[in-house]
Amino acid sequence: MNPRDVYGPLAAVNRRAGRGKDGAHGLVSVLMPAYNEAARIRHNVLAVDALFRSMRRPYEIIVVDDGSGDWTYEEARKAARGHRNIQVKRLDVNQGKGWALKEAFRLSRGGWVVFLDSDLDIAPEQVRLFFDLQEREGADVVIGSKRHPDSRLRYPFKRRIVSAGYFFLVKLLFRMPLRDTQTGLKLFRRSVLLEAFPRVLVKRYAFDLELLVLAHHYGSRIVEAPVIVEYHGKFGHIGFRSVFNIWWDTMAVFYRLRIRRYYDRIGK
DSSP string for 207-227: HHHHHHHHHHHTT--EEEEE-
CATH number at residue 201: 3.90.550.10
Distance of alpha carbon 21 from alpha carbon 14, whole angstroms? 7
Q: b/e map of 215-235 (b: 16 or more CB within 10 Å)?
A: bbeeebebbbbbbbbeeeeee
List, for residues 55-96, the tens digit of each pLDDT value: 989 999 999 999 999 999 999 999 999 999 999 999 999 999
Distance of alpha carbon 263 from alpha carbon 133, whole angstroms? 29
Residue type, 102: K
Q: What number of other Cβ atoms are within 10 A of residue 184's Cβ?
A: 21
Burial status of residue 247 (CB atoms within 10 A of its CB: 0-12, 13-18, 19 or more):
middle
Full residue range of the structural domain in which residue 57 is found: 3-265
Number of structural domains in the chain: 1
List, for residues 25-61, the tens digit of each pLDDT value: 689 999 999 999 999 999 999 999 999 999 989 999 9
